[in-house]
Amino acid sequence: MKMTTWIRSGLLTVLGCAVGLGSAEARVKMVALPERAATVIRLDNPSATLIEEERVLTLQKGVNQVDFSWNGVSIDPDSIRLKVLNHPDQVTLLNVSYPPNEAALVWEISSAEPVEERVRISYLLANIDRLITYRFLANKPETQVDFKSYLVLRNFSGEDFGTSRVQLDYGEAFEQAIGHEETKQLLFLDAGKVPITKVWEFDANQLPWDPEKVEGNVGIPVSYQIENKEASGLGKNALWGGKVRVFQDDGHGSTIVLGEDSAALVPVGEKMKVNIGDSRDIKVVQRKMKEERINLRKNVNDQVVLYDTDEIIKTTLENFKDSPAVLTVIEYIPGQWDMVECNLKYEKKNSEKIEFQVALNPKEKKELMMHYQRRNLR
């Protein structure tokens, strides 16, 4: 993209006396470039970035016209505001005009006296935003992570920003300069050691029941859970959503990559769940051993109009690891049902979803038998 010097140098505020506001060519511009000062980039709203900048205008007594143009920069024109800071009782914004075929506007400002007036201009600017990324380093026993979060500033607005105050949702504003098409990565939050819980999860609706019959390796998804609470060294603010990369200390002064995931926003008190990969050392094989119709109810033509089913599901859970694991097993029984017998304790999560927490010792194999009856099927 080719840019002229004055456009690249920033939004151009032109102070001058305009002789009428006819066509663009007919407008006379007397250039006096007030220096931009006290620029604030507000990134507290993830969908739009608000820029606030202060400039000193040299106003004559009477009506002044101030030209503000933004060629090559994506400003929402309806969002532009002007606030008089020094003499609000003497300086009044009369009206705003938009010249034809130009990315510009003209403020008509009345001043009671000749004055150097500081004003604050604010506007919504597109294509400048921030991302959040996380980098966790787990210890070897996988009980805690070094929790670091980075702020990534991306500026593709067409505008170069010199040293500006950058304000996020929370925390102190900080100073940063960022040019057009520049990306900057800054350490944003270093929470130190944060405890984690490692979770293995078999979901009967998501994973194959017999891994042997599937081409390729089948693994059990493994996640780390982090609670956004004070006891974890967090809990002061919500954790923004972003990409999480997880590494692990290998015990030899180096690290390995465990995996990466995309975290959603985590309010205070909630848990962040980061899927790091699949375990091939925990194996789940599930088989339906029985499915019979029972309690048949018939109409006058001896046709079955209502029945129950008697079903048995056998699930084999095997830990090939040298370390223990607590496996979450999620099972689904649709419709109305009663559990006749189940050899392991479960928690009903909703009408058709039940969850088991099965502790497996190293090299241990367990069997889960569910005998249930589904009711009133037609």
- Give the interface with another protein as residue ranges (CB under 8 A): 74, 126-129, 131, 133, 135, 138, 140, 142, 152, 154, 156, 176, 179-187, 213, 216-217, 219, 221-222, 243, 245, 247-248, 250, 254-262, 275-281, 283, 287-293, 296, 300-304, 320-322, 363
Nearest to 73 by CA among 40, 104, 29: 104
Smaller CB distance to another protein: residue 102 or 278? 278
Residue 270 to residues 8, 91, 174, 266, 304, Cα–Cα distance (Å): 45, 50, 28, 6, 49
What is the nearest approach in angstroms of another protein to the Cβ of residue 269? 26
Q: Which is nearer to another protein, 290 or 348 (CB)?
A: 290
b/e burial code for range 13-47 (CB count within 10 A of at least 16 → b): bbbbebeeeeeeeebeeeeeebebeebbbbbeeee
**30 or 173: CB nearest another protein:** 173
Integer-rounded Cα radius of gyration of the chain: 32
CB of 156 to another protein, least distance (A): 4
Looking at the Cβ atoms of 32 and 359, the one nearer to another protein is: 359
Q: Which is nearer to another protein, 161 or 356 (CB)?
A: 161
Cα–Cα dist 75/158, whole Å: 10
The number of CA neighbours under 13 Å toward the Cβ of 193 is 4
Q: How far is the CB of 224 from another protein (least distance, A)?
A: 10
Q: Which is nearer to another protein, 296 or 339 (CB)?
A: 296
Closest among 221, 175, 154 to 38, alpha carbons compared: 175
Q: Which is nearer to another protein, 176 or 373 (CB)?
A: 176
Q: Least distance to another protein from the beta carbon of 49, Å?
A: 9
Strand partners, 248: 138, 256
Q: Give min distance, CB of 315 to another protein, in A.
A: 12
Shortest approach of another protein to residue 325 CB, angstroms? 10
* Tally of CB atoms within 10 A around 352: 13
CA distance 42 to 19: 37
Nearest Cα to 108, choosing from 98, 116, 120?
A: 98
Q: φ, ψ for residue 212 (rounded to 5)?
A: -65, -30
Judged by beta carbon, residue 57 or residue 73, the one nearer another protein is: 73
Q: 230, 118 in Cβ contact below 8 A?
A: no
| Contact criterion met (CB below 8 Å) for 327 and 202 | yes
Rounded to a whole number of angstroms, the minimum distance from the CB of residue 186 to another protein is 5
φ, ψ of residue 317 to 5 degrees: the values are: -120, 125
Smallest distance, Å, CB 285 to another protein?
10
Nearer to another protein, 40 or 131 (CB): 131
- CA 263 from centre of chain: 7
Structure tokens belonging to residue 323: 């370390």
DSSP label of 320: -
Q: Which residues contact 285 (CB under 8 A, 6 or more apart)?
A: 209, 210, 211, 212, 315, 316
Do 117 and 57 form a contact (C-beta atoms < 8 A)? Answer: yes
Residue 245 beta carbon to another protein: minimum distance, rounded to whole angstroms: 7
Kindly tell me which of 83 and 297 has the beta carbon lying closer to another protein: 297
Whole-Å CA distances, 273 to 148, 243, 329: 16, 12, 17
Shortest Å, Cβ 331 to another protein: 16
